[in-house]
Structure 1
Amino acid sequence: MPLLAYKECHILSPQQLRKLSEHKYSCFSASLLDPLLQPWWNWLVAQTPLWLAPNLITIVGLILNIVTTLILICYSPNGVEAPPRWTCALCALGLFVYQSLDSIDGKQARRTNTSSPLGELFDHGCDSISTIFVALSACISCQLGHYPNWLFFQCFCAIALFYCAHWQTYVSGTMRFGRIDVTEAQFSIIAIHLVSAALGPEIWLTKIPIVGVSWNYTILVFITFGYTLNIINFLKMFIEGGSGKNGSSVAGTSVLSPSIPLTLVVLPALIIAQKSPENIFTEHASVYILAFGMVAAKITNKLVIAHMTKAEMEYLDWSLLGPTLLFLNQYFNCILPEIWLLWFALAWGTQDLLRYCSQVCLEICQHLRIDLFRIPYSPKGSITTSVGSQSNLGADKNGGASHRKSKSKAH
């Protein structure tokens, strides 16, 4: 009976919390830009007050990224209308600030001796949400709404590849970043925003004289090339096998098991968009992507927790309620207007994601006896190490094995 009551009130079991305490972060990166940006990140973290909690740095960057993207969406919800140039410039600034803050949160954790497994989890969680907004803002900025199928492909590829990055980590135990990865993708998107701000978003619809195709098609080619590289690296996982017993995942489960939750998000999204009699995706692209993106962020967070706690991942989730209702509504010839259910799916998925993340953070904070957004003490050794450690900050982009920056395979 006590165990049953515990399960009803808690998301993480005592065994998962114990495994989480033992978790050690493992990462391999071959990024081209990361070494070049180290001086900027080291200087930035040196200016950061020692009392500023690493997770607070992360969440501030995420909020700025979301707000700037929502402003862009307000002016061009479907990526068809040309948004004002200043909104594109604002998105570029928001993404740059987010990228910079997301790169120093782990350095700040190491600098203040406050690294914890919660830092890594919190960072991954913020990145799972940021992926949705970054991908959507890039598509709007280069007017991809004129090609709805490409818009769907680009946004859902970004979401799926971020999930696959953590799927690979769940299987091998080590997060791997290629030479062209999240940092390169982020700065490419910043460049797209800056071009739109300088020349106007309409520039992407003009034809290239010799080739005869629009400039945004050129962007699609380069982005798809980047996706292909990441997919190839991801598929190597199945050849190498997992780090568990008999080539299984870190939790001892099948290396294919994480494909089920991902399929339950992407496949219904594709079917609903293609079969909609009201052209729900074409008419309400941003709301559609955000609604399904929240569901994808939820299952990605569950995958990260499964990896860090070496536990089996659950396949079904309450966040799938919205997509399920949309699917059933189509099956019964749209009893309700699809836009009503789409807004419900967005609201439900958002509150479910926030509730889940809040509860998990609360449980981990209670277990580790730490605060989420506050350093409630003078960081041990911070005075003596804050200067001397600066020379070592460049050795790790995020300054700590248990609080490194989460990078997606296609951010």
Structure 2
Amino acid sequence: MISGRRPSCCSFRGYLGRAAAPGDSPSSRSQRLGSNMLQLRYVTEQQLAGFDQYQYNAVDTNPLSMYVMQHLWNRIVKIVPLWIAPNLLTFSGFLLLLINYFVLCFYDWDYTASGSELIPNWVWWFAAFSTFSAYALDSIDGKHARRTQSSSPLGELFDHGLDSWATSLFTLSWFSVCVSPVDSPGFSEHKMFLLLSIILLNFMLSHWEKYNTGVLFLPWGYDLSQVMLVGGYLLTAIVGVEIWHKPLVFGYYAPSVTLALVIACSIFLSLPQTMYNIYTAYQKKTLKKDSLYEALLPLVSPTLLFSLLTIWVTLSPCDILIKQPRLFLFMVGVAFSSVACRVIICQMSNTRSESFHSLLFPLALVVFAAVTGLLGKLEESAFMAFTALLTLAHVHYGVCVGRQLSQHLNIYIFSMKKRAQE
């Protein structure tokens, strides 16, 4: 734990009541006040106190990770300069995923370019490179933090917060490969929404498990999915995207097999393993929550979120998912990340999860107005406006939380230096 942190103020009253430093001019005080007013204090005093007591506790039993990938990461981390901050590695990996996603947006905005020559071959090579690089950087950031003795709760929150968004970016980028042409079986827009929802809920399941047990049991599917994604992009670059549009054994197509495997792994592997770990903690009397209501609280907002989104997809008068598949699925990923980040903060600070995320109220209003026909022809415009505001709000939330914890722990996010005491 980093010592010598600066005292933290978590309310506007703290900012407004701050005494002027000697030599402060009225203009400098007003600029500082304006800047601080824009930095909302999303993390409460109770949560900050919880972060002070936080200890990382994770279990990795995945054979692929333990016996193969960890040896590779141990070699790679040795070439990282010691002056580079671990969070810089994490953020660089996320930026690579974002760039890859935007490249695919340019060539395949509406998921119709697959099976044609509209997507250049170099895009698949870059997708393989960016996916592997992001996977590697996400795997070595913690090792580099321990190597440089710069581990902090901020680093873990930064890592898992970006992971909650990156999970959807991985999936949405891969859809450009396996969405088949119109005249052959493949992922329809509704199947894409179903698959993305299942993958995101599996991510939430891991952090809900930690919320109750205090231990992050690293899911087996993560390493396997990353290796398969990289291999899939490489195969596409070498052979061509049409390989995914031909039937495999017994006449089944790759997209259908992928969806079946994800559903089967979720039902028969992820969920039973999570319930077993929670039951084991209950038997050992190490559960963090003492009632079923408190234990299930983090699942309320995700359940309501996907229920509202499903209602919108099913009852939309203009078929919003069909009309704007990429933008709608992007909005799903951002909305999920916004909900997941709140749960991760409560889980790490050992505080009570909120019952309803504030995002659900405007979303419910938009969905209600859309499915009842109140928006009429404005549904698509309202959807775009909501997506833009949601994305800006989520980015603002992430920046503010990062700055707040940076100040509280007396460290910089992207530097190895400590903050100067004020």
TM-score with structure 1 setting the length:
0.84
Larger relative contact order (CA 8 Å, sep ≥ 6)? 1
Equivalence map 1:324-339=2 (5 Å): 324-333=364-373, 334-339=375-380
CA–CA separation in structure 1 for the residues paired with 2:176 and 2:231:
14
**Cα distance change, pair 196–205 in 1 and its aligned pair in 2 (3 A):** same
Q: 1:177 aligns with which of 215, 218, 232?
A: 218
Tell me how far 1:57 sits from its aligned partner.
Answer: 0.8
CA–CA separation in structure 2 for the residues paired with 1:4 and 1:72:
42
Q: Which residue of 2 aligns with 1:106?
A: 142
CA–CA separation in structure 2 for the residues paired with 1:122 and 1:247:
25
Max Rg structure: 2
Q: Which residue of 2 aligns with 1:15?
A: 46
Q: Which residue of 2 aligns with 1:371?
A: 412
**1:142/1:204 contact within 8 Å kept:** yes
**2:297/2:354 contact within 8 Å kept:** no
Deviations 1:345-400 (A, max 9, x none): 221221111111111111111111111001127xxxxxxxxxxxxxxxxxxxxxxx
Secondary structure of the equivalent of 2:59?
A: strand
**2:187/2:255 contact within 8 Å kept:** no
Q: Which residue of 2 aligns with 1:5?
A: 13
Q: Which moved more, 1:211-220 or 1:47-56?
A: 211-220
Secondary structure of the equivalent of 2:217?
A: strand
Q: 2:106 aligns with which of 51, 55, 74?
A: 74
Q: 2:57 aligns with which of 20, 26, 50?
A: 26
Aligned length: 374
Q: Which residue of 2 aligns with 1:398?
A: none
Tell me how far 1:249 sits from its aligned partner.
Answer: 2.5
Q: 1:297 aligns with which of 332, 337, 349?
A: 337
Tell me how far 1:80 sits from its aligned partner.
Answer: 3.1
Q: 1:200 aligns with which of 232, 235, 240?
A: 240
Counterpart residue identity of residue 255, structure 2? N
**1:34/1:183 contact within 8 Å kept:** yes
**1:132/1:290 contact within 8 Å kept:** yes
Q: Does 1:267 align with 2:303?
A: no
CA–CA separation in structure 2 for the residues paired with 1:67 and 1:283:
24
Tell me how far 1:166 sits from its aligned partner.
Answer: 0.5
Tell me how far 1:152 sits from its aligned partner.
Answer: 1.2
Structure 1 residues not aligned, in runs of 5+: 378-411
Tell me how far 1:303 sits from its aligned partner.
Answer: 0.4
Alpha-carbon RMSD: 2.6
**1:128/1:297 contact within 8 Å kept:** yes
CA–CA separation in structure 1 for the residues paired with 2:140 and 2:89:
8
**1:251/1:310 contact within 8 Å kept:** no
Q: Which residue of 2 aligns with 1:84?
A: 120
Equivalence map 1:108-147=2 (5 Å): 108-143=144-179, 146-147=187-188
Tell me how far 1:320 sits from its aligned partner.
Answer: 3.2
Tell me how far 1:338 sits from its aligned partner.
Answer: 2.3
Structure 2 residues not aligned, in runs of 5+: 1-9, 16-36, 181-185
CA–CA separation in structure 1 for the residues paired with 2:172 and 2:332:
12
Q: Which moved more, 1:189-198 or 1:279-288?
A: 189-198
Secondary structure of the equivalent of 2:339?
A: helix
Tell me how far 1:138 sits from its aligned partner.
Answer: 1.8
Q: Does 1:157 align with 2:198?
A: yes
TM-score with structure 2 setting the length:
0.82
CA–CA separation in structure 1 for the residues paired with 2:301 and 2:280:
23
CA–CA separation in structure 1 for the residues paired with 2:110 and 2:274:
31
CA–CA separation in structure 2 for the residues paired with 1:48 and 1:110:
13
